[in-house]
Amino acid sequence: MEISSTRRSFIKGLVAIGALLALPATVLAALVRPSAAFDSKELDASIKSLFGDLPVEASDRVNLKAPEIAENGAVVPITISTDIEGVESISVIIENNPNPLSANFNLTDAVEAKIATRVKMGQSSPVRALVKANGKVYYSTKEVKVTIGGCGG
């Protein structure tokens, strides 16, 4: 009797520890800096590195706000929003920058799917906003003309 109750509580303890270990593991798994994608100098390779084999498609539900002409490439304000449900991440890619991937925001349900940031652009370039949701990647692109580059050498 005593043995079995000890055994039961031991098993209960194991289950509890298992649950504790499992939870942070799944949370952490999603949160690792995609360093290879940031280091990549090539657009397609960077997208592939960031999203793997997920289907990537253009979508007018991704709303990208950026200036048509940026007088100062060092500070280009970008706002990305979407009405797509279940957004996991929002990323900004400056296609003609030496390293195209600029920022990758990982959202939880507690946050609205709208992010504002400021990026540097070395020259005029298409800016691409990518939204990962429901096992797919949706994007929209906008051409931004830069009169003074922001990655000056």
Give residues in contact with another protein (CB under 8 A).
31, 33-34, 38, 74-77, 79, 94, 97-99, 101-112, 114-121, 150-153
| Residue 10 amino acid letter | F
> Which residues lie below 8 Å from residue 106, measured CB to CB, with a gap of 6+?
30, 31, 88, 89
- Min dist CB 134 to another protein, Å, is 19
Nearer to another protein, 4 or 150 (CB): 150
Closest approach of Cβ 61 to another protein, in Å?
A: 18
- Nearer to another protein by C-beta: 14 or 28? 28
Check: CB of residue 76 under 8 Å from CB of residue 103: no
Using left for φ > 0, alpha for ψ between -120 and 50, and beta otherwise, residue 139 falls in beta
- Looking up tokens 């994007």, which residue turns up? 139
Smallest gap, in angstroms, from Cβ of residue 139 to another protein? 18
Neighbouring residues of 101: CB distance < 8 A, sequence distance ≥ 6: 34, 37, 38, 40, 46, 50, 91, 92, 93
CB of 77 closer than 8 Å to CB of 116: yes
Q: How far is the CB of 16 from another protein (least distance, A)?
A: 21
The residue (of 14 and 75) whose beta carbon lies closer to another protein is 75
Sign of the alpha-carbon torsion through 30, 31, 32, 36: positive
Of residues 3 and 91, the one with the C-beta less far from another protein: 91
Nearest residue (CB) to another protein, 3 versus 29 = 29
